[in-house]
Amino acid sequence: MTSPFAYLKQVRDEFAHVVWPSGRTAIAHTLVVIGIAVAITILVGALDYLFGLMVSRVAGG
């Protein structure tokens, strides 16, 4: 088992090897994720609304 300080040093050394995305790439990927989340939200909301209508017609409400 390594000491916490040795562990943090290893973590710092590993972070030096990471290839970080540029700011432009990070923003572009963030916008893609937000767009997909919004699209899925709209799809699920529309399906919920349609299924709600079908259930209310079957239930007579």
pLDDT digits (tens, 9 = 90+) for 42-59: 999 999 999 999 999 999
Task: Provide the domain count of the chain.
Answer: 1
Output the six-digit token pair for 60. Answer: 């007579």
Helix H or strand E encompassing 6? helix 4-15
Q: Determine the pLDDT at residue 61.
A: 63
The answer as to whether 61 is a domain residue is yes
d(Cα 10, Cα 61) in Å, to the nearest integer? 64
The answer as to whether 37 is a domain residue is yes
Q: What is the pLDDT of residues 5-53, one digit of tens each?
A: 999 999 999 999 999 999 999 999 999 999 999 999 999 999 999 999 9
d(Cα 25, Cα 31) in Å, to the nearest integer? 10
The answer as to whether 5 is a domain residue is no
Q: Which residues does 10 contact at the CB level (< 8 Å), separation at least 6?
A: 2
d(Cα 27, Cα 9) in Å, to the nearest integer? 30
**Structural domain containing residue 55:** 21-61
The answer as to whether 8 is a domain residue is no
